[in-house]
Chain A
Amino acid sequence: MDIMKIVGIGIIATMLAVILREEKPEIALQVSIVTGLIIFIFVISKLNSVIEVLKYFASKTNIDLMYFTIILKVIAIAYITEFGAQVCKDAGEGSIASKIEFGGKVLIMIMAIPILAALMDVITKLMV
């Protein structure tokens, strides 16, 4: 099964990283980054079918497709922000990690502005 592949790779890479940690910590960090990348790429390629199904549901229930693409973009930003922040935390750079997370939050907030505007329109229509 796929999960066994992921866990196997993770454990082997952790062993290699531990071997390298006291001699060459920078290369140990790069081993952990590559492992994260491989597992990420493996998982993301499986996400495609889920997105197609969600798009089909969104188009069937005549929701404006713009909202759905915004949600997808927010998920993508969250995915990459979490990846980068985790790598920096592993390397011990907590401050860089928090800056990356802060940047990700701001970008997601910018992405969500149209939805907020639409929400305000609905509310003002109800009030009138």
Chain B
Amino acid sequence: MDVDLIFKIAAIGIVTAVLSRILYQSGKDEFAVITGIAGTAIVLMMLVGMIAKLFDTVKTMFQL
């Protein structure tokens, strides 16, 4: 029950959103887009580990 992962991802999301908003205001639109993509990529890396864990659990559980 690693619940803290949800909060970690939400925190990254909020930080990315705020950062891209700031960058938009200061006129650097392309950096804002890059920050958005970077935030999503970081979260995706954490997510892939969890998905692999789920598939392993199901595989061992059901002898798939």
Q: Which of A12, A20, A38 is in CB contact (< 8 Å) with B17?
A: A20
- In residues 10-37 of chain A, which contact B (Cβ within 8 Å)? 12-13, 16, 19-20, 23-24, 26-28, 30-31, 33-35, 37
A73 at interface (Cβ–Cβ under 8 A)? yes
Please tell me the size bucket of the interface on A.
35 or more
Whether the Cβ atoms of B6 and A38 lie closer than 8 Å is yes
Please tell me if the beta carbons of A23 and B40 are within 8 angstroms of each other in the complex.
Answer: no
Chain B residues 26-52 with CB under 8 Å of chain A are 36, 39-40, 43-44, 46-47, 50-51
Asked if residues B55 and A80 are in contact (CB atoms below 8 Å), the reply is yes
Q: Is the CB of B53 within 8 A of A41?
A: yes
Chain B residue nearest to A79 in the complex (CB): B58
| Chain B 1-21 interface mask (CB, 8 Å, partner A; 1/0) | 111011101101110110011
Q: Give the secondary structure class of B's interface.
A: helix
What DSSP secondary structure best describes chain A's contact surface? helix
- What is the minimal beta-carbon distance from A49 to any residue of chain B, in angstroms? 11
Residue of A24, A42, A80 most packed against chain B (CB within 10 A): A24
Interface size on B (CB < 8 Å)?
34
Verify if B25 is at the interface (C-beta below 8 Å from A): no
A24 touching B39 in the complex, CB below 8 Å, given contacts A30-B47, A44-B57: yes
**Residues of A at under 8 Å CB distance from B?**
5, 9, 12-13, 16, 19-20, 23-24, 26-28, 30-31, 33-35, 37-38, 40-42, 44-45, 47-48, 51, 69, 72-73, 75-77, 79-80, 83
Residues of B within 8 A of A (CB): 1-3, 5-7, 9-10, 12-14, 16-17, 20-21, 36, 39-40, 43-44, 46-47, 50-51, 53-55, 57-59, 61-64
- Give me 12 other A-B pairs in contact (C-beta within 8 A), A76-B59, A79-B58 excluded: A16-B6, A24-B20, A27-B13, A27-B16, A27-B17, A40-B54, A41-B53, A44-B57, A51-B62, A73-B64, A75-B62, A80-B58
